[in-house]
Structure 1
Amino acid sequence: MSRAFVAVLLVLSGAGLGAMGTAVVGAGGIAELKRQAGLPAATPSVAARSAPSAPSGPVAPSAPVVAGLGVEVTDGGKPGALVVGVHVPGPGFSAGLVRGDVLLAFGGTRVDSAADLARAVARARPGAEVTLSVRHSGGGHQRLTVVPAIVT
């Protein structure tokens, strides 16, 4: 009972159960604590942990690659996506977007809302140039070229 108390005290104090914890609790006590915590009691051997694992073939990405513009948009009450923030650095900043711009088209896709822009950007290929149709806060219209980047 006292060994379990010492182990709990070590864990709660942030000391962890490294070599010192093993010496205090003993190897059997570590396995019991792991079992109670729901962790696997058996640990891989040193040889198994240090052996390099060779890939068995092409490795698929763990997450889908998603394009991004580096801007924050919202619905502005009129058709388009109102830019309320531009990340510096970022693709939108590099293209010349500024806060207050309204994105009206992304490539060949009309943008009536922030959701429309999000869907169009999600379909874009990162690294491929896309033409934006923009209405500036002063009322002028402009076409800008943006290169969506990978969002991580």
Structure 2
Amino acid sequence: MTALPPIAEARRLIPPLDDTAISLYATLALPAEEAASKAANAKDLMYSRVVGYLLFYASNATALATLKDDIASCDTADQGPLQALYNLGEFYVKNLLLIFRKTRGRTPVPSDHPSRPSFEVAKSQVMEDLQSTPRNHSDAKLAALARDNFRLLPTAVSS
């Protein structure tokens, strides 16, 4: 992954009039990248760069605001701001970027489960259950009596 650009170029890439994002970039993202580079820690270097580049290429204003809040919370973290930023970068890699990773194998063939009914069987079952609407009151009354086994429900007397 390409190194983070210096602060002068970052001012051009970060949306204008967003001093908070530029400040977070200068005080957390760049120092975290530099510390990881000096320590020769490739994973932390990648995580710091992911956070830095997300500041440049956030998809919308809401995403940028959430990212700024997340980065700002790293400054007050118990384990130290740099380690918190690395953890944040790891979180974004695992939960945001890896979903776009290419699969390693072929797409599996869909299984044809033998117990699944065919569409025609399901359609015929539905058609059997459907009944036409009665056209007048006497047909509706006869259908209701047939439904209730020819018993009057309030009295349970056969009619």
Instruction: Output the TM-score relative to the length of structure 2.
Output: 0.21
**Greater strand percent: which structure?**
1
TM-score, normalised with respect to structure 1: 0.22
Q: Which has the higher helix share?
A: 2
Larger Rg: 2
